[in-house]
Amino acid sequence: MNNKILLPTLVLIAVPAASAQQAPDHPGVILDGQTFTPRSILARNMGTPEEQTAAFPPHKIIGNIYYVGTRKLSSFLIVTPQGNILIDSTYERNVRTIQKSVEQLGFKFSDIKILVGNHAHGDHQEGDALVKELTGAQVMAMAEDLPELRAIKPGGKEHPVDRILHDGDSIALGGTTLVAHLTAGHTHGATLFTAKVADGAKTYDVVFYSSLRSPTVLTPKHVDEFNHSFDFVHALACEVPLGDHPSEYDMEAKYAKLSSGGLNPFIDVARCKKEAYMQEAMFHAILAEQNSPKD
């Protein structure tokens, strides 16, 4: 039985160019009344250079998971009695900002024992070498991303890889286990991490999503990768959705609700699949446009 249910508010549209001088920003999709195009998704995720480097207030998300990234680039700290795990170093210029955020939360940066990343792009993993230099952390990466990852050499630094991960591998430290899942497409080794996290008397399914954003030119390999990844994500258990860009899980809006004293806003089952539905619709729209007859 196929348990993938398309959201009824999702429709495909054609978006014209903003001007004759500007490249067409199309195709587009509408989800819950909001229009998305390849250009708008990229702008939403990346923001301005200043937003990519500006610290966002570090905060507890749930259980032993904390946010230590910037306004537009996520970095997560998982705290355990045997040392800590960092997900995504982002740009090298942000490493000291991440360090300061970790310390503002009362933790030692040097206690980071494991560093992993969602995918081999500079805005997520360029800082790996510096984090390793400062902490001695073991750097782990998905096998399929190694060629792209090793090409990331800020200041000529070789990109460290201490453990090569494969789909389904577990990373265990201090009673916390992350499972690495290959969700290829955005890069060949794009990696989603899952964890069961205790908070109070309950345990929650936490998902650290990697980007599912499609390139604007799709190869047959991309198509196979994305079809597999979307099927996997739709079937995934999720109660706390997180993402490699804060906008993918509405971080700022949820953070603003933390002080209200109500339910934890990061527990958001309804949001778990929304990003994937939108990205899948965009993928199919790009593919349809690419395969349509040209005049």
Question: The CATH number of the domain where 255 resides is what?
Answer: 3.60.15.10
- Average pLDDT over every residue of 210-232: 95
Burial of residue 114, with CB atoms counted within 10 A of its CB: 0-12 exposed, 13-18 middle, 19 or more buried: buried
Integer Cα distance of 204 and 268 in angstroms: 11
Q: Which of 169, 192, 185 lies closest to 286 in space, CA to CA?
A: 185
Helices within the chain (DSSP H only): 38-46, 49-53, 95-104, 122-125, 128-135, 146-150, 220-234, 251-257, 274-291
Q: Is residue 81 part of a domain?
A: yes
The model's pLDDT over 140-197, given as tens digits with 9 standing for 90+, comes to 999 999 999 999 999 999 999 999 999 999 999 999 999 999 999 999 999 999 999 9
State the pLDDT confidence band at 21, using cuts at 50, 70 and 90.
very low
CB atoms within 10 A of CB 149: 23
Q: Is residue 4 part of a domain?
A: no
Q: Is residue 3 part of a domain?
A: no
Q: Is residue 5 part of a domain?
A: no
Residue 76 in 3-state DSSP? strand
Q: Is residue 149 part of a domain?
A: yes
Q: Is residue 171 part of a domain?
A: yes
Q: Do 192 and 209 contact (CB within 8 A), yes or no?
A: yes
How confident is the model at residue 20, as a pLDDT? Answer: 34
Query: What's the domain count of the chain?
Result: 1
Q: Is residue 160 part of a domain?
A: yes
Integer Cα distance of 55 and 75 in angstroms: 11
Q: Is the pTM of this model over 0.75?
A: yes
Domain hosting 37: range is: 11-289
Residue for token pair 């054609």: 14
Note if the bond before 24 is cis, omega within 30 degrees.
Answer: no
- Average pLDDT over every residue of 102-122: 98
